[in-house]
Chains A and B, each alone.
Chain A
């Protein structure tokens, strides 16, 4: 445990050094920061936006914004947390803007986003997936995407940051520019909505599995 704490602290320290170097005009030091944190930001951005293209745009923009504001950051906190927050802020703004601009865009082809070979439902099977399983998994995937898409940007952000990224309520509240109580409610509301949307399918899948038809 201490070792893990030490390694986290040393990563934070080395981030601080890289920030200092960047501020001193060393662009390659910023490269170290970009390469170290881009995958974490990508994961967050992908879950918030729901697709690879937008996620990559969010990551790039977050690093560009962080670079512009680096003088204001001045190692007061952890660079990773700071740039992560910038990405979350930008992602929620972008999703809100897209929602405003696009009344309803045609849904992207699901297989482009999540190839069938990476489908978790297929991964748990030993042999070739049954046709029913394929149908069900594609259906579930689509339902999940729809359910996430039906959340408000604030609910999606709160759910992603809390459930997938394990962020503290206070961190989420900062991104949502809200207080802790309201943020907790936003998380609960998101889970409730997802449950309403997904439970029928999830239960049917569980029943099918229990009966041996899946």
Chain B
């Protein structure tokens, strides 16, 4: 380029938005005047670069969620969208969802059968009997679910690269399991809420958040990213809570399995389920 590039051309060059990159580079290399002009533009842009953005705080992400959560509608976007409904229907046909659906189905059937069996002989205790049966089924199913969840979280906490030279750790397998557990978790949480078991529902809610974090993260993580995830798991104390609830459920299961003190035929029939 023979002539000196004008200011606009130099700015375009500085911003990487010019078709004459090579010719300007050659010109600037041999022209002190243009080099100084470019340096002056650079100095202004460098001063702008230094302008800080005020830090919104460490827990900013969480705060944003807290601020908007209550303002979100029940369903996002166009829930009546046919294609969307179709996609949901297809998702519900996936086999992995049937395990959780089945468990809750068992609960419903168990409650129904308990109701039927106790109806004729002890109408006064119907509701209590049905509730007991539901609780027992829930205890067993949730206990198993918590055991599986605990295993995933423990494996994740102990995950290491297969080859120490590898900089990334593949947690795809744990993610898929977390994803499957999420479906179950949601159903159990809702059931626990309906059953009025607030403590269990709360633990399941916390577990769900951790499972979501795992399921929605990248498949390949760096040791630093994994460490962050571990810290989040630790910070929530979820493993400890899961273990405590699991133990509690096992005890409840044992006491529920003991023969009833009362000589009540309806109760015995209910216990067989």
Contact among B52, B55, B68, B73 with A120 in the assembled complex (CB-CB below 8 Å): B52
Contact among B54, B56, B65, B168 with A34 in the assembled complex (CB-CB below 8 Å): B65
Contact among A20, A31, A192, A194 with B212 in the assembled complex (CB-CB below 8 Å): A31
Is the pair A71, B186 in contact by a Cβ cutoff of 8 Å? no
Shortest distance between the CB of B196 and any CB in chain A (Å) = 22
Is the pair B56, A42 in contact by a Cβ cutoff of 8 Å? yes
- Within A67-102, the residues touching B (CB, 8 Å) are 67-74
| CB of A174 within 8 Å of the partner chain | no
Alpha-carbon gap, A15 to B56, bound state (A) = 24
Q: Which residues of B contact A74 (CB under 8 A)?
A: 83-84
Q: Which residues of A contact B218 (CB under 8 A)?
A: 7, 10-11, 14
Q: Which residues of B contact A20 (CB under 8 A)?
A: 87
Is the pair B54, A46 in contact by a Cβ cutoff of 8 Å? yes
- Interface-forming stretch among B42-50, B129-137, B142-150, B237-245? B42-50
| CB of A23 within 8 Å of the partner chain | yes
Is the pair A199, B44 in contact by a Cβ cutoff of 8 Å? yes
Q: Known contacts A28-B209, A63-B68; decide if A113 and B54 are in contact (CB<8 Å).
A: yes
Alpha-carbon gap, A29 to B271, bound state (A) = 39
Is the pair A64, B77 in contact by a Cβ cutoff of 8 Å? no
| CB of B12 within 8 Å of the partner chain | yes
Alpha-carbon gap, A140 to B47, bound state (A) = 9
Is the pair A203, B43 in contact by a Cβ cutoff of 8 Å? yes
Is the pair A192, B7 in contact by a Cβ cutoff of 8 Å? yes
Residue of B with least CB distance to A199: B44
Is the pair A32, B216 in contact by a Cβ cutoff of 8 Å? yes
| CB of B272 within 8 Å of the partner chain | no
Residue of B with least CB distance to A11: B218
| CB of B91 within 8 Å of the partner chain | yes
Q: Known contacts A25-B75, A31-B212, A71-B81; decide if A60 and B68 are in contact (CB<8 Å).
A: yes
Q: Which residues of A contact B54 (CB under 8 A)?
A: 46, 52, 113-115, 118
Alpha-carbon gap, A15 to B72, bound state (A) = 19
27 sampled A-B residue pairs with Cβ under 8 A: A3-B168, A7-B218, A23-B87, A26-B186, A27-B72, A28-B212, A30-B72, A31-B65, A52-B56, A56-B64, A59-B64, A67-B73, A67-B77, A71-B84, A73-B77, A113-B54, A118-B52, A119-B52, A162-B15, A164-B49, A184-B12, A184-B17, A188-B11, A191-B15, A194-B48, A198-B48, A203-B40
Chain A residues close to B by CB (< 8 Å):
3, 6-7, 10-11, 14-15, 17-18, 20-32, 34-36, 38-39, 42-43, 46-47, 52, 55-56, 59-60, 63-64, 67-74, 113-115, 118-121, 140-141, 144, 162-164, 169, 184, 187-188, 191-192, 194-195, 198-199, 202-203, 205-206
Q: 6 closest pairs, A vs B, by CB?
A: A71-B77, A71-B78, A120-B50, A70-B77, A35-B61, A10-B218
Chain B residues close to A by CB (< 8 Å):
7-8, 11-12, 14-15, 17, 40-41, 43-45, 47-56, 60-62, 64-65, 67-69, 71-79, 81, 83-84, 87-88, 91, 167-168, 186, 208-209, 212-213, 215-220
